[in-house]
Every structure is written in structure tokens, then in C-alpha cells.
Amino acid sequence: MHPEMIFIVALVCGAGWLGYRQGGPPERLDEKNHRRTIYAYIGRTQPDAMLTLFDFPNPNNTSEQRTVTAGPLQRLFFMNSEFVRIQAQALAGRLKGTDAEKIDAAYRLLFARRPTDSEVAAGLDFLKNGGDAWAQYAQVLLSSSEFSALN
């Protein structure tokens, strides 16, 4: 699986949104589809806009290797996408406990590490805004380069 596709799968897994049903007919990629892209309908003349943004290969061509890129359009997608906003709300809903415990759980889930003291302090400071702050904070974490980069 290519890094861009791993990233999209990681996004929906982090939010707890990915379905596990295997097989079946292909389905269009939209907010109702909770399946991996391997089960997606891929149009040859009009590829999915989100996949194109993440350098999905042209389904009409073959290639020995794909170019891996990360660009500003991908960052803008994370800041403005309804899809990412929904994933962030789902992630925020998965987290339980105090704000500090939730921050710790989010970092463990998304980055496979514990947050530093300064990261916890920054998170707690951000969450003081109240309202929909948890969903916004989750979107910030999902939009981070640490989450989208493969190490």
C-alpha cells in the first residue's frame, strides 16, 4: 500500500471510523463509506478528488514506482475538509477521562507515544476555549505532519 493510502486509512482508524467488512461490490468514496479504498469505486475518466489530492495514480497507466509528495494542498485539505472534521469529531468522542488523560490517549493512539509536558500544557491551554474545542484540537492533531509522515 502506498504511503498516501496508508495515511487515509490511519486517519479513519484513528477516529475509530473504519469498517471491517470484507468483500462486496465497490462503493463510491464519500462520508457514508467507511471502508478501505481497496473496496472503492475508482472511475477511470473522473477519479475521486480526494484521492487525486493525495497523488492517487492514474488508473489508466501502469508504473513501476509512484512519486510520494506532501504539499500545501494536502495541508489545506486537512484544515477545510468536512471529511477530516467528521474524523476529528469521532476521535474526540473516543477519548475518555480528564482533559490531560484525553490528550495522553490521543497522542498514544495517533503517534504511538506519550505527549511531552509542553505538548500537554499547550493542549490544555487550547482546550480552555471551550465549545467545540476538543473536535478542533483533534483536527489539529490529525493535521500534524507527525501524523501524516511515515517514519
In a shared domain, residues 46 and 91: no
* pLDDT tens-digit series, residues 4-43: 444 455 554 555 666 777 777 877 777 677 777 777 777 7
**Does residue 76 form part of some domain?**
no
- Does a structural domain hold residue 77? no
Instruction: Answer with the residue of higher pLDDT: 98 or 17.
Output: 98
Asked if the model's pLDDT at residue 147 lies above 70, the reply is yes
Q: How many domains does the chain have?
A: 2
- How confident is the model at residue 137, as a pLDDT? 95
* Model confidence, pTM: 0.61
Are 142 and 92 within one domain?
yes
Helix ranges (H only) for the chain are: 3-14, 49-53, 72-80, 82-94, 99-111, 117-127, 133-143, 145-148
